[in-house]
């Protein structure tokens, strides 16, 4: 088609035209919808550049000195031993030696190596490939259970409503792909039972995805990631399509399903193509512009020396990492001031909308952005639907959480459902605030409403602190390693001259010598709270239920873990596979960060020339890490990260309640409160 267009323009078939026409990246450049094969043809045409490969691996290896969990993740304790057993350094050594047919194949190996950690904080995302095109099917799946207790995947009842609203310009391709008398009748597939996927038991596809999706330790949570779900976004209710209907790489070309449509006595076999939609920020026309616009380091890929007069500091809120953080945009001021714990996902935050009939109506006063409050029609159950612990205004966000809970009480609510489905974290102190205002002041909420933490204590980290304290390099308190940011185990601030990483606390983890900082106390109270919290509990914690699809991470996990393990709140996971123990949250961490932020610490501390410092990254990549790790509640000598967090209830979903938040909350009240 491209060749035809060029000939039509009167350009003769000369060498340059043939070169363009056979350039597989030119074939997809400037187009919105293409086939996944065409995207792969472009990606796999890029050969490995050994300089760039070595650069990526050096940045990763040296950045991992700042990731708390490297040695723990070689073999996690039970119940996660099966799920987490990745030796990153062994694999990076293997990858260094291995040759690859293309740079895309190298990317997949690097990315999956990190994903095997099942730690949404420690990931490798190369924006040259990840979510440049997103691969879609118009039939998101849900896992439903019928009245006799039989569980099976179904095409979501709302599938057609979602797809026709989100893909109006592509839906005809799928309509026309349906066979025989189903042609044009995509809508009739909504709600159909799925009997097989690509000729096999659907669990085969679900479990294969669970092995590569990453982000959460719990196998149940990674199985749930296959299915669609909802989330309160800053601009309204989002619909998360799930890994079956949405892929961040062009992995699959089509799917063959055997289905039984609702009301139909017989089954149908259908084949639907995946279609790839361009999601990049910058267009390209050929291989050269594909590489130049998408694959090279961009402002924010690397850190800056904050004291350099010419430093073009990229606000953390606009950094390349922020694109993949599962939280709404936060203001530049809050971004450096407020500490974050948030997961990185290879899909940018969804803006696919939950169909209007499913959206909960009449939020009460106090609702704002990702925090929406409702009163159920029993007049005694209040609901806080909280899709994120981030907001573009930290103080207003914390204020609204208090306003909303007070409104619910004034309306007569005596029990509370907190729905944190797909809450990937955000402000650490917002999580502590919510815990504190629900339960009131007590030993588990004042002064520490979260977890005590520790950070990795390697030689370069110690040198960063030493440089800061002896040379006064951080007068505006912008650096993580500044002692004035932290309190000791007795909750006293470190002195400005105290190298708080010396002496390190030695530990042996999975046979490897490691070193961590002394225990850090709480960092939120009182200065992190914008107003004085109430002097009494707002709700009896035994009348609080924390509910999600398991995908509650980071700051959301800090909130859920303390509410459950310290306060006795009940926990619910929505729609997990029967017989699989569901974890009510995961990827706890303590504080997350990334290579670029660490690079700013190193550069500002004037240590970039150290042999331990990672070089500048040359590609458009993001390396996430866990910078602090919270100590456990049941076993305070070990990290909370790999301790058990079993949900009290796996709420099996029916067609009537699936992806319908109001109906789901009512079902939870009926079963648990
Ligand atoms: C890319 O180019 C096409 C065709 O010129 C245009 O329709 C589209 O909006 C452009 N997309 C971006 C992200 O610039
Ligand atoms: C590999 O990448 C480096 C750094 O961007 C560049 O200087 C070099 O020209 C590239 N090599 C090839 C063969 O393209
Ligand atoms: C909600 O806010 C409005 C406007 O401030 C006020 O009139 C109303 O009384 C409030 N309702 C509740 C239940 O607090
Ligand atoms: C809840 O309150 C509303 C408004 O006051 C009232 O109309 C309704 O009957 C109440 N419902 C129950 C179950 O008490
Ligand atoms: C934090 O550490 C202090 C001092 O060791 C201890 O008293 C407190 O119980 C710890 N808090 C948590 C939540 O582990
Ligand atoms: C790094 O650079 C500083 C000056 O910026 C210099 O004092 C120091 O000796 C250098 N260190 C190394 C290891 O080269």
The model's pLDDT over 119-166, given as tens digits with 9 standing for 90+, comes to 999 999 999 999 999 999 999 999 999 999 999 999 999 999 999 999
Q: What is the pLDDT of residue 7?
A: 33
Residue 30 CB–ligand 1 contact under 6 Å: yes
Residue 6, pLDDT score:
34
Task: Report residue 309's pLDDT band, with 50, 70 and 90 as the boundaries.
Answer: confident
Nearest one of 173, 318, 149, 327 to 238, comparing CA atoms: 327
Residue that is last in its domain, among 252, 278, 304: 278
Question: Which residue blocks in 29-181 are alpha helix, DSSP H?
Answer: 36-44, 50-63, 88-97, 103-115, 159-166, 171-177
CA of 609 to the centre of ligand 6 (A): 6
> Domain for residue 4, yes or no?
no
Same structural domain, 255 and 381: no
CA 304, 393, 353, 123 dihedral sign is: positive
- Do residue 269 and residue 373 come from a single domain? no
Q: State the Cα–Cα distance between residues 311 and 307, nearest whole angstrom.
A: 7
Closest ligand to C-alpha of residue 381 is: 4
Mean pLDDT over 408-417 rounds to 98
pLDDT digits 0-9 by tens, 456-469: 999 999 999 999 99
Q: What local confidence, expressed as pLDDT, does residue 311 receive? A: 64
Quote helix, strand, coil % in the chain, to nearest 5: 30, 20, 50
268 and 416 housed in the same domain:
no
Ligand 2: residues whose CB is within 6 Å? 49, 51-52, 618
Is there a single domain that holds both residue 540 and residue 662?
A: yes
How close is the Cα of 524 to the center of ligand 5, in Å? 14
Answer yes or no: pTM beyond 0.85: yes
Whether 394 is covered by a domain: the verdict is yes
Closest ligand 5 atom to Cα of 562 = 13
2 band by pLDDT with thresholds 50, 70 and 90: very low
Write the residue with the smallest CA distance to atom 10 of ligand 5. 452
Residues 213-239, mean pLDDT to the nearest whole number: 97
Distance 573 CA to ligand 3 centre (A): 33
SS3 114: helix
How does residue 313 score in pLDDT terms, banded at 50, 70 and 90? low
**Alpha-carbon distance 59 to 297, whole Å?**
13
- Domain identity same for 181 and 274: yes
Tell me how far the alpha carbon of residue 246 is from its chain's centroid. Answer: 15
pLDDT exceeds cutoff 50 at 8: no
Cα angle for residues 226, 228, 234 (degrees, 5° grid):
125
Which has more confidence, 343 or 39?
39
Which of 232, 250, 278 corresponds to the end of one domain? 278
Q: What is the mean pLDDT of residues 658-669?
A: 98
Residues 121 and 625: beta-carbon distance below 8 Å: yes
Q: Is the pLDDT of residue 386 over 50?
A: yes
Cβ(440)–Cβ(535) below 8 Å: yes
Ligand 2 atom nearest to CA at 50: 1
**What are the Cα distances from residue 606, in Å, to 62, 74, 296, 457?**
17, 33, 25, 18
161 with 270, same domain? yes
Q: In the chain, what is the greatest distance between 2 CA atoms, to the nearest angstrom?
A: 81
How do residues 497-548 score in pLDDT, each as one tens digit?
999 999 999 999 999 999 999 999 999 999 999 999 999 999 999 999 999 9
User: 537 and 392 in one domain?
Assistant: yes
* Domain assignment of residue 308, yes or no: no
CA of 323 to the centre of ligand 2 (A): 27
Which ligand has the minimum distance to the alpha carbon of residue 132?
1
Average pLDDT of span 220-238: 97
Mean pLDDT of 436-456: 98
Spacing, Cα 54 to ligand 6 middle (Å): 24
Residue 351 lies in a domain: no
Least reliable range by pLDDT among 169-178, 303-312, 479-488, 490-499: 303-312
Answer yes or no: is 70 within a domain: no
Range of the domain at 387: 361-441+533-589+639-672
- In tens, the pLDDT along 541-589 reads 999 999 999 999 999 999 999 999 999 999 999 999 999 999 999 999 9
Substitution candidate for ligand 3 out of 365, 366, 406, 412 with most atoms within 8 A of CB = 365
Residue 341 domain-assigned (yes or no) = no
pLDDT value for 12: 38
Question: Are 247 and 213 in contact, with CB atoms under 8 Å apart?
Answer: no
Contact present, 202 and 196 (Cβ < 8 Å)? yes
* In a shared domain, residues 274 and 368: no
- Please report whether residue 528 resides in a domain: no
> Within a domain: residue 502?
no
Please indicate whether residue 606, judged by its CB atom, sits closer than 6 Å to ligand 6.
yes
Does the pLDDT value for residue 19 go beyond 90? Answer: no
What's the average model confidence in pLDDT over 209-232?
A: 98
| Whole-Å CA distances, 486 to 352, 393, 477, 517 | 40, 23, 11, 12
pLDDT reported for residue 206: 98
- Looking at the structure of the chain, the number of domains it has is 2
pLDDT on residue 328: 76
CATH code: domain of residue 266: 2.30.42.10
Residue 195 has pLDDT above 70, yes or no: yes
Residues 400 and 540 reside in one and the same domain: yes
CATH of the domain at 406: 3.90.226.10
Length of the chain: 673
Judge if the upstream peptide bond of residue 79 is cis by omega within 30 degrees of 0: yes
Residue 399 Cα to ligand 3 midpoint, Å, equals: 15
- For the ranges 19-23, 284-288, 507-511, 616-620, the lowest mean pLDDT is seen at 19-23
User: Do 260 and 164 fall within a single domain?
Assistant: yes
Per DSSP, 313 falls in state P
What is the structure's pLDDT at 673? Answer: 87
According to the model, what pLDDT value does residue 501 have?
Answer: 98
CB atoms within 10 A of CB 362: 7
Q: Residue 329's pLDDT is what? A: 77
Ligand 4 atom nearest the C-alpha of 378 is: 13
Residue 273 pLDDT more than 50? yes
In the predicted model, what is the mean pLDDT of the chain?
94
pLDDT of residue 17: 46
Same domain, 390 and 251: no
Q: Pick from 278, 293, 317: which residue ends a domain?
A: 278
Q: Are residues 171 and 271 in the same domain?
A: yes
């Amino acid at each position: 088609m491209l060749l035809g267009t060029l000939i039509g323009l009167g350009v003769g078939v000369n060498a340059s035209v043939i070169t363009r026409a056979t350039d597989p990246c030119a074939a997809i450049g400037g187009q919105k919808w293409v086939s996944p094969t065409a995207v792969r043809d472009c990606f796999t045409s890029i050969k490995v550049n050994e300089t760039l490969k070595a650069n990526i691996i050096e940045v990763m290896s040296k950045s991992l000195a700042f990731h708390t969990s490297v040695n723990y993740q070689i073999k996690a304790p039970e119940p996660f031993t099966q799920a987490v057993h990745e030796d990153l350094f062994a694999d990076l050594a293997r990858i260094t030696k291995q040759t690859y047919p293309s740079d895309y194949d190298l990317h997949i190996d690097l990315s999956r190596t990190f994903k095997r950690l099942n730690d949404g904080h420690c990931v490798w995302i190369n924006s040259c490939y990840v979510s440049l095109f997103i691969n879609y099917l118009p039939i998101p799946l849900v896992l439903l259970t019928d009245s006799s207790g039989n569980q099976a995947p179904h095409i979501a009842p709302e599938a057609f409503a979602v797809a026709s609203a989100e893909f109006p310009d592509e839906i005809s391709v799928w309509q026309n792909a349906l066979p025989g008398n189903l042609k044009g009748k995509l809508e009739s597939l909504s709600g159909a039972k799925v009997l097989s996927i690509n000729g096999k038991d659907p669990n085969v596809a679900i479990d294969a995805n669970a092995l590569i999706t990453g982000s959460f330790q719990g196998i149940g949570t990674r199985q749930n990631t296959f299915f669609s779900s909802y989330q309160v976004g800053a601009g309204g209710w989002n619909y998360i399509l799930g890994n079956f209907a949405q892929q961040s790489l062009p992995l699959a070309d089509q799917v063959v399903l055997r289905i039984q449509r609702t009301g139909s006595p017989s089954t149908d076999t259908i084949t639907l193509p995946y279609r790839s939609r361009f999601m990049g920020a910058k267009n390209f026309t050929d291989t050269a512009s594909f590489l130049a616009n998408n694959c090279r380091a961009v402002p924010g890929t690397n850190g800056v020396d904050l004291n350099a007069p010419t430093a073009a500091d990229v606000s953390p809120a606009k950094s390349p990492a922020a694109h993949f953080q599962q939280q709404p945009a936060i203001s530049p001021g809050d971004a450096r001031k407020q500490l974050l714990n948030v997961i990185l996902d290879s899909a940018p935050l969804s803006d696919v909308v939950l169909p209007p009939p499913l959206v909960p109506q009449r939020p009460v006063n106090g609702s704002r952005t990702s925090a929406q409050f409702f009163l159920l029609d029993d007049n005694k159950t209040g609901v806080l639907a909280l899709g994120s612990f981030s907001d573009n205004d930290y103080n207003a966000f914390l204020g609204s959480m208090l306003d909303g809970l007070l409104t619910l009480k004034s309306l007569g609510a005596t029990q509370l459902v907190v729905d944190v489905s797909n809450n990937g974290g955000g402000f650490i102190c917002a999580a502590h605030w919510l815990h504190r205002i629900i339960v009131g002041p007590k030993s588990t909420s004042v002064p520490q409403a979260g977890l005590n933490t520790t950070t990795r204590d390697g030689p370069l980290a110690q040198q960063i602190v030493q440089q800061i304290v002896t040379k006064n390099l951080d007068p505006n308190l912008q650096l993580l390693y500044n002692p004035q940011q932290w309190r000791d185990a007795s909750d006293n601030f470190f002195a400005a001259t105290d190298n708080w990483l010396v002496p390190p606390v030695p530990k042996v983890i999975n046979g490897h010598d490691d070193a961590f900082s002394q225990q850090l106390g709480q960092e939120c109270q009182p200065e992190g709270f914008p107003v004085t919290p109430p002097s009494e509990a707002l709700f009896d914690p035994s009348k609080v239920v924390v509910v999600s699809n398991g995908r509650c991470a980071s700051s959301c996990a800090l909130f859920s873990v303390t509410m459950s393990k310290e306060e006795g709140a009940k926990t619910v996971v929505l729609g997990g596979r029967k017989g699989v123990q569901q974890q009510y949250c995961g990827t706890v961490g303590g504080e997350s960060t990334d290579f670029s932020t660490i690079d700013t610490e190193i550069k500002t501390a004037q240590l970039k020339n150290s042999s331990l410092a990672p070089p500048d990254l040359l590609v458009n990549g993001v390396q996430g890490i866990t910078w602090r790790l919270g100590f456990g509640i049941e076993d305070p000598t070990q990290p909370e990260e790999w301790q058990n967090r079993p949900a009290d209830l796996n709420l099996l979903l029916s067609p009537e309640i699936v992806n319908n938040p109001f109906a789901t909350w009512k079902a939870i009240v009926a079963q648990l409160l």
